[in-house]
Amino acid sequence: MIIIDGVTESGGKFRPSAWAEMLIEGVGLAHFGADHKIHYLPLIEPATINGNAAIIIDESLEEIRPEAFAEIMRFAAENRLQIRH
């Protein structure tokens, strides 16, 4: 399991607060269901950890959707977000 916290390496809160949902949707890992609600691929989900937005990723996502996984990890590294394995 990989957790990307919405906290920068220097301890600042990452903005905007909806970054996790927007990133997951932007890489094509979410869709609207017949119930008119957003559904995420079972291997990834947005979360709130200690009051901060976060993304929880099953490591098998790298094998199943390598491009999306790489883009999420690139985004996290580029924005210096805290990543825990």
Q: At what angle do helices 19-26 and 66-78 cross, to 10 degrees?
A: 150
Which domain CATH number covers 30?
A: 3.30.70.2340
Could you tell me the pTM of the whole model? 0.91
Question: Along the 85 residues of the chain, how does pLDDT read in single tens digits?
Answer: 999 999 999 999 999 989 999 999 999 999 999 999 999 999 999 999 999 999 999 999 999 999 999 999 999 999 999 999 9
- For the chain, what is the domain count? 1
Alpha helices in the chain (DSSP H): 19-26, 61-64, 66-78
* Structural domain span for residue 77: 2-84
Written as one letter, the residue type at 40 is: Y
